[in-house]
Structure 1
Amino acid sequence: MFEGKVAVITGASRGIGRAIALALAQRGAKVVLAARDRERLEAVRKEADTLGAQALVVPGDLRREESVEALRQHTLNAFGTVDIVVNNAGVGKYGSILDFTPADYDWIMDTNMRVSFLVTRAFLPPLLQKGTGDLVFVASVAGLKGLPQEAVYCASKFAQVGFAQALDHELRPKGIRVSVVAPGGVNTEFAWGTGRTPGDPHLNAFLRPEEVAEAVVFALSQPPHARAFLIGLRPMVEPL
């Protein structure tokens, strides 16, 4: 389905990012795996290898411009092009707004929004040069509706969704598709120690990361004349 396509996935070392990388690798894409944890990225690369896919590991803190530039250079040096960029890197914390420090705010906003901006900005020129390609943002239902105990996380995800909406206006006439996948609760390591606890039985009723990955595949699988701009998923245990 994606034979020969080059896909860059941020936050690819675990959870949703890992699932997206493997879903694309299974369908023939060459995957570029970006995150901070080299050891975990290497584990994902080995999984991609077993699927017969080419995988490139590029560790780094993508909040830093030099790390994003290194990601761009390594990708283009290895594969010569890019076709798909999945902005998936994200962090979160739950609690009353008074429980948040300015450092918490910077950590969440920089990871969720600044990384999306920097990575998109870095890879957009080759996409525009080709006049085709996909930008996917893994956002959240917290980017569509304000939720209690999630004020800063909601702010970061609302920003990400607004960024994607603006890009859709700018880039659609130039052949670039923009998609937003907005899941509810997903059973991953997300927010462990900052609002969620490992082993919490409630997580068992949440979405699986592979289910979110299939939504990304669905968006990317649309015919050239169509786009899936917003896909929302929620587990049955969560109200709308």
Structure 2
Amino acid sequence: MAKTVMITGATQGIGKATAILFARNGYNIVLAARQTERLEATTSEIGALGRDALAVSTDVRDSGQVKNLVEKSLAYFGHIYVLINNASIFFMAPVEESSLSDWQQIMDTNLWGTFILFSHSYPIF
């Protein structure tokens, strides 16, 4: 039986590369990200590698969506062996070009999103 890894921010950059690497090494993958089209494309890539992938559109800033992610993952795979909390927002601009709203979004995703996922993840392990 293949082990399963859950990865947030799984449709681009480090998250996608990590998902592909785990799939190549025999893991099934739970992909979580906000963009449905990218989720579907990455799911297809993993399927082409002969692994099973579950895509769940999720904004880690939303506790209800994260709870749904965990519930669907457990219902589909039964157990998650690895959790990679990779969802994040990168923002690069001079301070005078950024707004409080920009920083709120960054903190909500990079800090609180991490906490929200961990707080709902206890049933996984």
- Structure showing greater Rg: 1
SS class of match (2:121): helix
The CA deviation at 1:100 is 2.0
Deviation string 1:212-233 (CA, Å, 9 cap, x unpaired) is xxxxxxxxxxxxxxxxxxxxxx
Question: What are the equivalent positions in structure 2 for 1:64-79 lying under 5 Å apart?
Answer: 64-79=62-77
Counterpart among 123, 141, 145 of residue 121 in structure 2 = 123
> Which among 83, 92, 95 is matched to residue 93 of structure 2?
95
Q: RCO (CA 8 Å, sep 6+): is it higher in 1 or 2?
A: 2
| 1:34 CA displacement | 0.3
- The aligned counterpart of 2:112 is 114
Q: Work out which of the residue numbers 36, 39, 43 in structure 1 matches 2:41.
A: 43
Deviation at 1:126, TM superposition (A): 3.1
CA RMSD of aligned residues (A): 1.2
CA contact (8 A) 1:85 1:120 kept: no
Whole-angstrom CA distance in 2 between matches of 1:48 and 1:114: 29
Gaps of 5+ in 1: 128-240
With structure 2 as the length reference, what TM-score do the two structures score?
0.94
1:45-64 equivalences under 5 Å are 45-64=43-62
Taking every aligned residue pair, what percent have the same amino acid on both sides?
37
Inter-partner Cα distance in structure 2 for 1:48 and 1:95:
35
Distance, in Å, in 2 between the alignment partners of 1:125 and 1:80 is: 10
Output the amino acid matched with 1:91. I
User: Would you say how many aligned residue pairs link Structure 1 and Structure 2?
Assistant: 125
Separation in 1, partners of 2:91, 2:75: 37
Q: Hey, what does 2:29 align to over in structure 1?
A: 31
Cα offset, 1:97, TM superposition: 2.2
**Offset of residue 98 of structure 1:** 2.7
Deviation per CA, 1:50-101: give whole Å up to 9, x if none: 1110100001212101110110011000011111100111112122323221
